[in-house]
Amino acid sequence: MRALKAYPALLRAYWERAVTYRAVFVVALLNAAFPLVMMAIWIGMAQDGPVVGYTAADFASYYLSAILVWRATSVGIMQDAERMVRTGELSVYLIRPLGVFHHFFARVLASRPLAAAVPAVLVASAALLIPGQQFDLRLLNLLLFGLACGVGLVFEFLMQYLVAGLSFWIVQTQGVSAAYQFVRAFLGGYIVPLALFPPALGAILIWLPFQVSVALPVELLTGRLDLAQGALRLGAGIAWTGLAGLGAQIVWSAGLRSYTAVGA
Amino acid sequence: MRCLWQSARRHAGLLRLFIQNSLLANLEYRVNFAGALLMSLLDALWAVGGALLFYTHRTAIGGWTFHETLIVIGLFFIASGFVDAVMQPNVRDVIEAVRSGTMDYTLIRPINPMFHATLRRFRFEKLSGLLVGTSLIGYALSQLQLWPAPERWLVFSLLGLAAVALLYALMAALAALCFWVVDVANVDELVLGILEVARFPAQAFPEPLRGLISFVFPIAFISTAPAEALLGRLTLPLALCGLGFTLFALWLSAWAWRRAVASYTSASS
């Protein structure tokens, strides 16, 4: 309960910090280059007829939404967490009354408006300009979309926190994190929509944890899922999130016990 | 003429020295190579996987079959390996040196500043892209059961070298830009972002993008044109056009560096 009371102050502090480095957003937008290239080629292919029900406009709306969702659910705390453990800076946080978890979580939450706002404006203007795009903007669906994005964000945060916890034992966790982003981008539907995988593979992918932070919200927003299906996959996502939380808890409590506070 | 020869020999000797120094520094961190190779392999897996997914829905895209596209993907990995290994560390260094004023130390040396600033540091572990790229091309050729004639190999290597020179000129010109606009950090990411377009054949893109990358912004010359040379599809005018682009870009970057050094104000002193 005390943690909850501290959140307004934490969020304000980390919001100030987030707006200090605005130029980084331009770079982050450029990470969208690979999916945009994929989009262009699919659109070229769709000119001789739809690909598994996706027309050129469908591809445009899918990938634009995917960029928005990817930005909204991507978490980058690895670098700082690893440095804190390596240099012993973590000790400062450990003697504070509020756990280090809350510092990271507040920081991620405070960075969300900026992370999502720029792509949101771009996607919205593209949606208005390009004809024939389809978004499902019914209120219930939008609520489910928002909920899916929230669950996706929490899942990504817990996964990053879990991998960051590995830095108690291994030094190069950034490599692990980069590899994870690669896997997530491909198997989560950021590079290619899951519906375009071979059916047998696609049927597995929609139940894997990676879909919750990209494919699920995108398919909801573009109206490719009915509510029942969406709710079912969201449930699976919540279950995976619980597992990730459990894993993070185990890693961090074991790690803190073996922590030797270098340099303190 | 003799003077030119001497200058070329001197620069070649210096280049060898720079490479040796970087190699010694890199060998300190041998494990990094394994990590970089793993990342290149993952990246290649996704690029090939993405292409494979395209080809489960169509047999040819823009006139390119799957294995022909693999050649283009391989060339893309070679090009981005070069950018990662050579251009990125040096451009970062130039930006930092201009910002902090340590560019002075480069400028007082009796050597062309563009040469010294852009080719001094190499990250050998990033050459893993080269390894992955050549293996992809080799695999594709064996699957196509194609062994190109020597003159095709000649045009291919010529255009490949031109592509590397084009990338070099592009990055060097961007590095020169930071003499005027110091706040240009991460400009290398911009180039890498644009380079992504070279992942697939230029003909696979819909118009007007296709025309744009073939003629206005010559990304097609980085991967598509050398692949076409290997497959024997490249026409002579197009090959000459690519070489012309490269020469122009090299001249432009040298000119930009002369102007940049002239306007350098030395932040520290």
pLDDT for position B223: 87
Q: Point out the residue among B56, B192, B206 whose CB comes nearest to the CB of A47.
A: B206
Interface pTM, i.e. ipTM: 0.77
Q: How far is CA B145 from CA A115, A173, A188, A193, in A?
A: 49, 42, 36, 33
pLDDT for position B57: 85
Contact by Cβ (8 Å): A126, A32: no
Q: What does the H/E/C string look like for B189-226?
A: HHHHHHHHHHHCCHHHCCCCHHHHHHHHCCCHHHHHHH
Residues of B whose CB is below 8 A from A176: none
Rounded to an integer, what distance in angstroms lies between the CA atom of residue A107 and that of residue A23?
A: 18
| B58 is a domain residue | yes
Q: What range does the domain containing A165 cover?
A: 2-258
| B12 is a domain residue | no
Rounded to an integer, what distance in angstroms lies between the CA atom of residue A18 and that of residue A21?
A: 6
Rounded to an integer, what distance in angstroms lies between the CA atom of residue B194 and that of residue A30?
A: 9
Closest CA to B199 of B19, B34, B79: B79
pLDDT for position A100: 80
Residues of A whose CB is below 8 A from B190: 30
pLDDT for position B211: 80
Q: What is the mean pLDDT of residues B3-8?
A: 80
Cβ contacts of A176-183, under 8 Å, gap ≥ 24:
A177/A78, A178/B39, A179/B38, A179/B39, A179/B42, A182/B39, A182/B42, A182/B43, A182/B46, A183/A210, A183/B42
Give the 3-state secondary structure of residue A199.
Answer: helix
Interchain CB distance below 8 Å, B185 and A43: no
Report the range out of A158-167, A232-241, B89-98, B119-128 with the highest average pLDDT: A232-241
Give the gap in angstroms from C-alpha B189 to the nearest C-alpha of chain A.
7
The residue of chain A nearest to residue B194, with distances taken between CA atoms, is A33
Interchain CB distance below 8 Å, A45 and B61: yes
Sequence letter at residue B103: M
| A40 is a domain residue | yes
The residue of chain A nearest to residue B49, with distances taken between CA atoms, is A186
pLDDT for position A243: 95
pLDDT for position B75: 92
pLDDT for position A24: 47
By residue count, chain B amounts to 269
Interchain CB distance below 8 Å, B53 and A192: yes
Q: What does the H/E/C string look like for chain B?
A: CHHHHHHHHHHHHHHHHHHHHHHHHHHCCCHHHHHHHHHHHHHHHHHHHHHHHHHHHCCCECCECHHHHHHHHHHHHHHHHHHHHHHHHHHHHHHHHHHHCCHHHHHCCCCCHHHHHHCCCCCHHHHHHHHHHHHHHHHHHHHHCCCCCHHHHHHHHHHHHHHHHHHHHHHHHHHHHCCCCCCCCCHHHHHHHHHHHHHCCHHHCCCCHHHHHHHHCCCHHHHHHHHHHHHCCCCHHHHHHHHHHHHHHHHHHHHHHHHHHHCCCCCCC
Interchain CB distance below 8 Å, A23 and B185: yes
| A178 is a domain residue | yes
Would you give the distance in Å from CA A15 to the centre of its chain?
A: 19
Q: What DSSP state is assigned to residue A52?
A: T
Interchain CB distance below 8 Å, B43 and A175: no
Angle made by CA atoms A114, A117, A121, in degrees to the nearest 5 = 150
pLDDT for position B176: 81
pLDDT for position B38: 78
Sequence letter at residue B107: L
| A165 is a domain residue | yes
Q: Point out the residue among A52, A186, A191 whose CB comes nearest to the CB of B57.
A: A52
Q: What's the total number of domains in chain B?
A: 1
| B210 is a domain residue | yes
Residues of A whose CB is below 8 A from B39: 175, 178-179, 182
| B142 is a domain residue | yes
| A193 is a domain residue | yes
Contact by Cβ (8 Å): A75, A228: no
Task: Please identify every stretch of chain A with a pLDDT value under 50, giving residue numbers as ranges.
Answer: 22-27, 264
| A264 is a domain residue | no
| A119 is a domain residue | yes
Given the structure tokens 């059916």, which residue do they identify? A199
Q: Phi and psi for B148 in degrees, rounded to 5?
A: -60, 150
Contact by Cβ (8 Å): A219, A225: yes
pLDDT for position A25: 47
Chain A residues near any Cβ of chain B (below 8 Å): 23-24, 26-27, 30-31, 33-34, 36-38, 40-45, 47, 51-52, 172, 175, 178-179, 182-183, 185-186, 191-192, 196-198
Rounded to an integer, what distance in angstroms lies between the CA atom of residue A182 and that of residue A197?
A: 17
Rounded to an integer, what distance in angstroms lies between the CA atom of residue B142 and that of residue B136?
A: 10
* Mutation choice for B interface testing from A21, A30, A172, A196 by most B CBs within 10 A: A30
**Cβ atoms < 10 Å from Cβ of B46:** 18
For A118-127, B44-53, B99-108, B178-187, which range has the lowest pLDDT when averaged over its residues?
A: B178-187
By residue count, chain A amounts to 264
* Mutation choice for A interface testing from B56, B196, B224 by most A CBs within 10 A: B196
Rounded to an integer, what distance in angstroms lies between the CA atom of residue A34 and that of residue A17?
A: 29
Sequence letter at residue B46: W
Give the 3-state secondary structure of residue A51.
Answer: strand
The residue of chain A nearest to residue B209, with distances taken between CA atoms, is A40
Q: What is the mean pLDDT of residues B7-17?
A: 83
Q: What's the total number of domains in chain A?
A: 1
Q: B71-85, pLDDT tens digit by residue?
A: 999 999 898 888 888
**Cβ atoms < 10 Å from Cβ of B47:** 23
Rounded to an integer, what distance in angstroms lies between the CA atom of residue A71 and that of residue A27?
A: 12
Contact by Cβ (8 Å): B173, B253: yes
Q: What percent of chain B has pLDDT over 90?
A: 5
* Mutation choice for A interface testing from B42, B95, B213 by most A CBs within 10 A: B42
Q: What's the start-to-end Cα distance of chain A, in Å?
A: 30
Rounded to an integer, what distance in angstroms lies between the CA atom of residue A116 and that of residue A114?
A: 5
* Mutation choice for B interface testing from A24, A25, A34 by most B CBs within 10 A: A34
Residues β-bridged to residue A51: A54
Would you give the distance in Å from CA A179 to the centre of its chain?
A: 15
Give the 3-state secondary structure of residue A54.
Answer: strand
Q: What range does the domain containing B169 cover?
A: 35-262
| B88 is a domain residue | yes
Give the gap in angstroms from C-alpha B143 to the nearest C-alpha of chain A.
23
